[in-house]
Amino acid sequence: MKENIANVNRKAPAAVIRAKETRGMLLAGDIGGTKTLLGLFDSSSARPRVRTVRTFATLEYNDLLSIIAEFVSTEAVTPSAIEAACFGVAGPVIDDAAELTNVPFNIDARRVRARFKFPRVTLLNDLQAMAYSVPVLTPPEVHVLQEGQPLKGGNIAVIAAGTGLGEAMLHYVAGRGFVPSPSEGGHADFSARTEREITLLRDLVARYGRAEVESVLCGPGLVNIFRVTHAGRCDAAIDIANPEAPAAISTAALEHRCDGCVEALHMFVDAYGAESGNLALRVVATAGVYIGGGIAPKILPALSDGAFMRAFREKPPLAALLEAMPVKVILNAEAGLLGAAVFASQQP
C-alpha cells in the first residue's frame, strides 16, 4: 500500500529530532478510522510537552507497525530513546490487542514491543485515551455549552463523534483522582424519541438489520440521516458516495443552502444531545460532560443554538441533575494523542 505522510503539525526548532535529544521520550499515538497521529512528548510534567506530531492517512498503510517505522525513520529517532509508548485505538482492547472497528488493522502491543524494543507499550481504547487528556485541558481548549455546577468527587463523561462514535467515563476514586474507563456504548441500540427518528430507525433497520447509535452519530451517520431527509433532490447537489459528503452536508446546512441538509443536521444535533444526556445519566457525570471528536468543533454554531442542550436536559424526572452538569466541547484536535501521552507518562 502507498505510504503517505499527510502533514506535519508541529516540529521542534531543529529540522530533525536526533536520538540524543529524545532520551527518555514518550511515543503517543491516536489511531483513527481516517487518520493516525503519532507524536513524541517530553515526560517532564503532568501534561507532557509535545516535541513533534505527524499525521498519517490510516488506510494508506498496511498496519500500525508500518506507520511507526515510517515515523521513527523520518524523525531519526532511535527506538531505545523511547521510554514508554501508548496508542489509542478505535476499538475494544482485549489482552493487549485490538481489532479496529472501522479499519482492517489488528494491533497487538506485544508485536509493537518486539519489533521496536520499546520498554513499555500500552493500547487503550481511543476514547479512554482522550479521557486521560480531560484533567489537563486548559480553558482555551474547550467551548462551554453549559456552565453547570461541577461537584468535587463527581464523575466525568466523554463522548466523541467522528468517523465512528466513542464513549468513555472518568470515575473519581478517592486518593487516586479520575480513573478513565473505556466503553463500547457507541454500538448500543439507537433509541428513537420522535416520529422523525422512528422513520430513521426503520430505515436503519431495513438497511443494516439493526440500528446502533453509531449509525446516527458519526460522519457516515449524518449521511444515513441525509437519506431520510431527502425524498427528492438535494439543493446543494451533494453526492453521498463522496467521502467528503458528511462535511458537505453540515456546511450546506450551516449556510442554509438546502432545507433537507438543515433538517439532517438538526436531527443529528438533537440525537447527539440526547445520547450525551443518556451517557451523563449512566455515568452520573456531576463533574462534567465533554464532547470530543472531529465533528463537534466544526458544527459549533449548531451545537450552541440551544437544541443540543434541550435534548440533553429533557429527561424527567432527572432534568435538574442534568441542568447542573457542566457540558463542554473539546477544541483541541489532538486531545486523544495528548491523553495517550499522559497515560504513558504515568507508567512506572
Helix, strand, or coil here: 90?
A: coil
Q: Does domain 139-330 have CATH number 3.10.20.30?
A: no
The sheet with strand 93-94 has its strands ordered as 93-94, 97-99, 106-108
One digit per residue, pLDDT tens: the chain, 348 residues?
333 334 444 443 333 333 334 447 999 999 987 889 999 999 877 899 999 999 999 989 999 999 999 999 999 888 889 999 999 998 899 999 998 877 888 999 999 999 999 999 999 999 999 999 999 999 999 999 999 999 999 999 999 999 899 999 999 999 999 999 999 999 999 999 999 999 999 999 999 999 999 999 999 999 999 999 998 889 999 999 999 999 999 999 999 999 999 999 999 999 999 999 999 999 999 999 999 999 999 999 999 999 999 999 999 999 999 999 999 999 999 999 999 999 999 987
Helix, strand, or coil here: 229?
A: helix
End-to-end CA distance of the chain: 37
Task: Give the model's pLDDT for residue 105.
Answer: 86
Strand partners, 230: none
Task: Give the model's pLDDT for residue 31.
Answer: 93
CATH among 3.40.640.10, 3.30.420.40, 3.40.50.10190, 2.40.50.140 for 5-132+334-345: 3.30.420.40
- Measured CA to CA, the distance from residue 92 to residue 90 in angstroms comes to 7
- Measured CA to CA, the distance from residue 201 to residue 208 in angstroms comes to 10
Task: Give the model's pLDDT for residue 231.
Answer: 83
Does 139-330 match 5-132+334-345 at the fold level?
no
- Measured CA to CA, the distance from residue 338 to residue 149 in angstroms comes to 26
Task: Give the model's pLDDT for residue 33.
Answer: 78
Q: Where do the domains of the chain lie?
A: 5-132+334-345, 139-330
- Measured CA to CA, the distance from residue 151 to residue 24 in angstroms comes to 37
Q: Helices (H), strands (E): how many in the chain?
A: 11, 15
191-204 residues labelled b (16+ CB within 10 A) or e (exposed): ebeeebbeebbebb
Pairing state between β 156-161 and 106-108: unpaired
The sheet with strand 49-57 has its strands ordered as 5-10, 49-57, 35-42, 25-31, 82-89, 121-125
Total-model pTM: 0.91
Helix, strand, or coil here: 83?
A: strand
- Measured CA to CA, the distance from residue 194 to residue 267 in angstroms comes to 10
